[in-house]
Amino acid sequence: MTADTIAVRTEDAFDIARLHAWIGAHAPHIATVDDALPTVRQFKGGASNLTFLVAYGDREFVLRRPPRGHRASSAHDMNREFTVQQRLRPHYPLVPQVEAYCADPTVIGDEFYLMSRIDGTILRRDLPAGLTLSPGEALDLAHTVIDAQADLHQIEPAVAGLDDLGRGPGYVRRQVSGWTRRYNDSRMGDVADASDVMTWLDAHQPDDIAARVIHGDWRLDNLILDLTGRPRIVGVLDWEMATVGDPMMDVGASLAYWITADDEEAFHLMRLQPTNLPGMPSRDEYVGRYLSRTGFAVDDWRFYEVYGLFRLAVIAQQIWARYRRGDTTNPALAHFGAAASMLIDRAQRRLA
Report pLDDT digits (tens) over 83-98: 999 999 999 999 999 9
Indicate if the pLDDT at residue 184 is higher than 80.
yes
The span from the CA of 43 to the CA of 301, in Å, is 35
Residue 123 near residue 274 (C-beta atoms within 8 A): yes
Q: What is the pLDDT of residues 304-329, one digit of tens each?
A: 999 999 999 999 999 998 888 888 88
Q: How much is the average pLDDT of 248-257?
A: 97
Q: List b or e across 276-314, with b for residues whose CB sees 16 or more CB atoms inside 10 angstroms.
A: bbeebbebeebbebbbebbebeeeebebbbbbbbbbbbb
Asked whether the predicted pLDDT for residue 70 surpasses 70, the reply is: no
Sign of CA dihedral 21, 23, 29, 30: negative
Distances (CA, A) of 290 to 73, 79, 186: 33, 31, 33
- Amino acid at site 312: L
For the residues of 103-137, what is the DSSP string, one character each? --TTTTSS-EEEEE---SB---SSPPTT----HHH
pTM comes to 0.90
Average pLDDT over residues 17-42: 97
Which amino acid would we find at residue 149? Q
Structure letter (DSSP) for residue 207: P
Q: Give the pLDDT of residue 46.
A: 57
Across the chain, what does the average pLDDT equal? 93
Among the listed ranges 28-32, 67-71, 157-161, 348-352, which one has the minimum average pLDDT value? 67-71
All structural domains of the chain, each given as residue ranges with its CATH number in brackets, are 5-116 (3.30.200.20), 135-349 (3.90.1200.10)
Please say whether the beta carbons of 340 and 179 come within 8 A. Answer: no
For the segment 111-126, the average pLDDT, to the nearest whole number, is 95
Report CA 138 to chain centroid distance, whole Å.
21
d(CA 24, CA 207): 50
Cβ–Cβ < 8 Å for 344, 180? no
pLDDT tier at 331, thresholds 50, 70, 90: confident
Look at residue 73 in the predicted model and tell me its pLDDT. 47
Q: What is the pLDDT of residue 74?
A: 52
pLDDT of the residue at 166: 86
Give percent of the chain with pLDDT exceeding 90.
Answer: 83
Q: Quick one: average pLDDT of 256-282?
A: 94
Pick from 61-70, 242-251, 288-297: least confident:
61-70
- For residue 234, the surrounding DSSP H or E stretch is strand 232-236
Residue 137 pLDDT: 95
pLDDT, average across residues 114-136: 94
Collapse the DSSP code of 330 into the 3-class scheme (helix H, G, I; strand E, B; otherwise coil) and give the result: coil
pLDDT band, residue 330 (cuts 50/70/90): confident
